[in-house]
Amino acid sequence: MKVQKLGKSAAVLAALALALGGTVVSAQAAPATYIDCQLFGAGEPDHIDPALTSTLVGANVATMLFDGLTDTDANGNLYGEVASKWTTKDGAKTWVFTLKKNLKFSNGEAVLPSSFVNGWKRSMDSKLASEVAYHGDFILGMNAYSTGKGAWPASSVVADDKAMTLTVKMENPTADWPSIVGHSVFSPIPTTMIGASDKVEEDGTKLVGNGPFMLEKAITKRAGGEVVIVPNPNYGGKASLLSKVTFKISSDVNAAYNAFASGQCDNGPIPAGRYSELLGKWGTKGVKTTLGTDYWGFNWEDPTVGGTKNKYLRSAIAKAIDRDQISSVIYQGVRKPASGLLPPGLPGYKAGQGLTSSRDLDGAKADYKKWLDLGNKTPAPIRLSYNDGAGWDKVASIIIANLKDVGIPAKLDPFPADGTYFSKMRKGQGQMIRAGWFADYAIADNFLYPLLHSNSIGGDNLERYSSSTFDALINSARSSTNKSFAQSQYRRAEVQALRSDVVITQTVNRGIAAVLAPSTSVFPITPLGMIVFDQIVKN
């Protein structure tokens, strides 16, 4: 009896509470606002300050708050954002940018060439210790400043606020500088932000930019927190169609998706392994191939797979890999099979630069036989090295099965998920190395130089690949102002590494995939993986 009475009371209370709760929830909905659960669906951003953020998601918000000299549009085309034009002299060693007039920061201050000098001075300051300060190393004398060994290179970055020009002198000829300078680390700042600390973003009134949005309030960079941006009333470009964008921070992709699927957000991330199911359910408007490539490299110094003498073993492995299977089984088509290191959408991209883009089992067997005929014996299982805990074991398992079909023994070689994988690979501890790259700027050099040039050994050249032919091609491309010549040299270099030397073999191109509520009719994403929130159209 008592239990029954309690049950009735509880039911009445529950009904009352539900009614109240329903009222609160419906009151939260408002038109033209956008709630994003996708961007920070897998965790908190490091920063949204353009001088400090080193993550794609952090940079995405930074680019909504700050406009740089140039940017890349949703079609991958470079355009002037604050700069109206740019010219070079001295064989791409000096660049002069002419800035648009009458542009303002959200606090009403004018955007001048000196705003860029102030911004760069802050972001490259060794005391700020930005992880992305090294992007400034293209500028003459900037490395000394950013490492605390020298003064600000005033003669390398010269602002003329009257003429509205910014002159930049480069360390070496840099034909791609207009693309590079679009990186968020090169954002301008108003005078109120001169010398601002790394905590300026925590006060919404102090992180002042010139982008289409501004911070509405202090941000909470933690799971459960949010970043809220509203249109910049002084913005000089096309105004956003949204009156507010709220970025919800989640610490779990599944929970972020569930938040979307239960009506809390306008978009959401897709948990691993559910691409087909959820894109089938919500549509593919939020899917875009981006400028990134996954690949497996061969340790150039390894006696079994490295060096010129083992080229046939490497080519046998490259031909044996079933990229379609990796794409369909692991990524359910969101990451497409790659045909080279440079991804589609990158200026100068040419398909089919790799040794092969589809499985060639007969070719693999023939190459393996050639390698054995050179006096080699069946090797000990080749180690497929990868960082554990990120799902790479599934990709490696497919490759091991692919290699088994050719008769090449291979095994999993997981490295602990403690963040030390890449540093171990850099020291040559891997054999067949899981790797990937996402473009910082939409240029071929951003892939080929850091990943394969001998100057990058100990850095991102995980394979410790050293080829004088490759280096010469890259060096000539870097110093040329002739675009078509440079492009041809980069293509030749790609072929040299992927076909002639087979030091790496590509698997899939990276992509972004978000699920969108039916109310989102336009959801533009740039090839650099940036969602253009000011151009989102919500019905």
436 in contact with other proteins (CB under 8 A): yes
Residue 46 touching other proteins (CB under 8 A): yes
Q: Does 22 bind other proteins (CB under 8 A)?
A: yes
Q: What is the C-alpha end-to-end distance of the chain, expressed in Å? A: 53
CB of 3 to other proteins, least distance (A): 7
Q: Which of 12, 13, 148, 155 binds other proteins (CB under 8 A)?
A: 148
- 512 phi and psi, to 5 degrees? -110, 140
Closest to other proteins by CB, 105 vs 295, is 295
CA–CA dist 515, 278 (Å, integer): 7
Q: Is residue 222 close enough to count as binding other proteins by CB under 8 A?
A: yes
Taking a C-beta distance cutoff of 8 angstroms, is the pair 187, 66 a contact?
yes
Q: Which is nearer to other proteins, 137 or 324 (CB)?
A: 137
Least distance to other proteins from the beta carbon of 165, Å? 30
Q: Which of 329, 320, 319, 354 is nearest to 339 (CA)?
A: 354
Check residue 99 and give left, alpha or beta (phi > 0: left; psi -120 to 50: alpha).
beta
The yes or no reply on residue 414 touching other proteins (CB under 8 A) is: no
Find the shortest distance in angstroms from Cβ 152 to other proteins: 15
Which of these segments, 75-83, 125-133, 317-325, 499-507, binds other proteins (CB under 8 A)? 125-133
Binding mask 223-262 for other proteins (x = CB under 8 A): xxx----------------------xxxxx-xxx-xx-xx
User: Mind giving me the DSSP string for 421-485?
Assistant: HHHHHHTT--SEEEEEEE-SSSSTHHHHHHHH-GGGBTTTBTT----HHHHHHHHHHHT---HHH
**Judged by CB under 8 A, which of 73, 158, 438, 522 binds other proteins?**
438
Per CB under 8 A, the list member of 109, 160, 198, 388 interacting with other proteins is 198
Among 34, 36, 39, 47, binds other proteins (CB under 8 A): 47
Amino acid at 453: H
Listing DSSP states for 82-133 in one string gives: SEEEEEEETTTTEEEEEEPSS-B-TTS-B--HHHHHHHHHHHT-TTTT-TTG
- Nearer to other proteins (CB atom), residue 108 or residue 458: 458
Cβ closest to other proteins, residue 124 vs residue 531: 124
**Burial status of residue 46 (CB atoms within 10 A of its CB: 0-12, 13-18, 19 or more):** middle
The minimum distance between CB 249 and other proteins, in angstroms, equals 7
Interaction of residue 455 with other proteins, rule CB under 8 A:
no
Q: According to CB under 8 A, which residues from 457 to 486 bind other proteins?
A: 458-460
Restricting to residues 286-305, name those near other proteins by CB under 8 A: none
Shortest distance in whole angstroms from residue 369 CB to other proteins: 36
Q: How far apart are CA 304 and CA 280, in angstroms?
A: 44
> At residue 202, what is the residue type?
E
Helices 445-452 and 483-495 cross at an angle (nearest 10°) of 40
Query: Does residue 336 touch other proteins according to CB under 8 A?
Result: no
Residues from 89 through 108 that contact other proteins (CB under 8 A): none
CA distance 98 to 134: 25
Q: How far is the CB of 281 from other proteins (least distance, A)?
A: 10
Cα–Cα distance for residue pair 50/184, rounded to 1 Å? 5
Q: Which is nearer to other proteins, 131 or 405 (CB)?
A: 131
Strand partners of residue 228: 246
The site for other proteins (CB under 8 A) is made up of 3, 17-18, 20-22, 24-25, 28, 43-47, 52, 54, 126-127, 129-131, 133-134, 137, 143, 146-148, 198-199, 202, 220-225, 248-252, 254-256, 258-259, 261-264, 416, 418-420, 422-423, 426, 435-438, 450, 458-460
